[in-house]
Amino acid sequence: MIAVGCDHAGYELKNELIRHLKDRGFEVEDLGTYSTDSCDYPDYAKKVCEEVVSGRAEKGLLVCGTGIGMSIAANKVRGIRAAVLTDEFSAQATREHNDANVLCLGARVLDTERAVKLLDIFLDTPFSEGANHIRRISKLEDGR
């Protein structure tokens, strides 16, 4: 399952991305927000990240205006490795090297086509499982 959340700025792009995920056969949990009424992105980052750290969601997707607020909020949750992405190289690298588990996208930065492309790369690229990357990720978790 993919847990998805957004704020008011990300609402329309979130809906497009959910449509795409469902077309691809993914199970999706839409944790809101459910309109363009102004709201606070940390609330939705928290909901999505809870699904990911509990293991109920395989990955999380967060959309706000820039993706930055969502990523700041998401990365405060232990066990979350959130990446704000705008380019394909980073989308692949953050999966292979960082085993990123939450994707943050900016609806005011990306058009839908590019957002879909980044989402696909994020979901389709496995973690490299390299010993060096595993060691570095474990240092993120134990605060070293």
Catalytic residues: 64, 97
Rule CB under 6 A: choose which of 2, 45, 61, 69 binds ligand RB5. Answer: 69
Window contacting ligand RB5 (CB under 6 A); options: 18-26, 64-72, 118-126, 133-141 = 64-72
Rounded alpha-carbon distances, angstroms, from residue 17 to 2, 110, 131: 11, 12, 33
Our CB check for ligand RB5 shows the closer of 33 and 94 to be 33
Return d(Cα 2, Cα 18) in angstroms, integer: 9
When asked if residue 66 is in the footprint of ligand RB5 (CB under 6 A), the reply is yes
Nearest-5° Cα angle at 124, 9 to 132: 105
Neighbours of 78 (CB within 10 A): 10
When asked if residue 33 is in the footprint of ligand RB5 (CB under 6 A), the reply is no
The tokens of 45 are what? Answer: 């980052």
Binding site for ligand RB5 (CB under 6 A): 7, 9, 41, 64-66, 68-69
